Amino acid sequence: MSDLPNFFTLFTKVGNSLPIDELFIVALIAVGMLVMHALLILFVGKIYQLLIDWADGKGIFWLSVPFYMVAVGLIFMTHLLDIIIWTYALIALKIFEVDTNAFYFVGEMYTTIGYGTFRFSENWRILPIMVAFTGIFAASMSGAILFNMIGQIIRKNPKK
């Protein structure tokens, strides 16, 4: 155990092996994509809340279920948008020789399936981790809002 590097030594070694300028761009894309994802699902959640309150007020509470299905579809679309943003970012950075490989890589990593079929130079080995983290956080945000929405249906007392 005494031959383990301290955190600062390890962090320095990892930092020295990374393309700092490109990594900064990738980090900005990751943060921007997560902010955009959060705002979109908050928007969908708020619209959903307004719609089921309206439906409940009109005595047509049963509409909350189709509204929920539409919200699920919209949230699914936000994940597709995230994957598309990542794909174009990696194409712009010229990380892959074939553009379609960027899409397949992002799909694997964003969904955290990660077959490991793509090999990177040593300085880009952190890329799968960054894409996977954004997928995990985006899925967590989506799961939370969907859980909240289904809870709104369950808590409502349909008017008779």
In a domain, 7, yes or no: no
Q: What is the pLDDT of residue 35?
A: 96
Percent of the chain topping pLDDT 70: 94
Residue identified by tokens 């005595």 is: 59
Can you give the length of the chain in residues? 160
Task: Extract the tokens encoding 145.
Answer: 């809002």
pLDDT in tens, 114-131: 777 788 877 788 888 889
Q: Please check whether residue 10 lies inside any domain of the structure.
A: no
SS (H, E, C) 74-116: HHHHHHHHHHHHHHHHHHHCCCCCCHHHHHHHHHHHHCCCCCC
**3-class secondary-structure state, position 106:** helix
Q: What is the spatial distance between Cα 52 and Cα 44, in angstroms, rounded to a whole number?
A: 12
160 inside domain: no
In a domain, 78, yes or no: yes
Mean pLDDT score across all residues of the chain: 87
26: containing domain: 18-155
If one counts the domains in the chain, the total is 1
The answer to the question of residue 24 being in a domain is: yes
**Looking at residue 124, what DSSP letter applies?**
G
Asked if residue 143 belongs to a domain, the reply is: yes
Q: State the pTM of this model.
A: 0.82
